[in-house]
Amino acid sequence: MTDTTAAQTERSLVLVKPDGYRRGLSGEVLRRIEAKGYTLVALAVVEPSRGQLEEHYAEHQGKPFYEPLLEFMSSGPVTAAIIEGQGCIPGFRSLAGATDPTAAAPGTIRGDHGRDWGLAVQQNIVHGSDSPESAAREIAIWFPAQG
Ligand code: IDP
Ligand code: MG
């Protein structure tokens, strides 16, 4: 019998940004993903190229924080992951917390581990896809073989 009530299994693209990687928070982020019940489908430590970052952040081109964002994201390795599970796209964004780490609720990754460093870009530890379309697009950027 087909269960028509179950949400579709989906995949999301998660990045532990260079600040999180440098601070040794990759394990903490992955721990929270697994504790929540999502599955790690692919995992890699990547030195992002300018081209990958331009594609990844295309929607932000022209905004005041765009260049600082690309510079920050180029400042060291990131841990990239494909995660899977029902509702994992909004679910991971809920684990991550609000974009601004000062405002992010305690209990979230950004709320527990992030803060304002007085820089032109928010160094907020993680990225998570915001829709199924973004997830498909971003997975192809970071894991071309899995797209
Ligand atoms: P998200 O990562 O929560 O989806 P987006 O609005 O997609 O947030 O922004 C992408 C990234 O750009 C953020 O995670 C943050 O690092 C940075 N950013 C966003 N808005 C600002 C801002 O107003 N000032 C500085 N940096 C920002
Ligand atoms: Mg975003």
What are the C-alpha distances in Å from 52 to residues 79, 142, 144?
Answer: 14, 8, 11
Instruction: Note if 127 is an active site residue.
Output: yes
In this prediction, residue 4 carries a pLDDT of 55
Atom 26 of ligand 1, residue of closest alpha carbon = 121
Q: Which atom of ligand 1 is nearest to the CA of 72?
A: 16
Whose alpha carbon is nearest atom 17 of ligand 1?
Answer: 122
- Cβ pair 45, 79 in contact under 8 A: yes
Mean pLDDT of the chain: 96
From 67, 89, 121, mutation site for ligand 1 pocket: most ligand atoms within 8 A of C-beta: 121
Render pLDDT for 66-103 as a digit per residue (tens, 0 to 9).
999 999 999 999 999 999 999 999 999 999 999 999 99
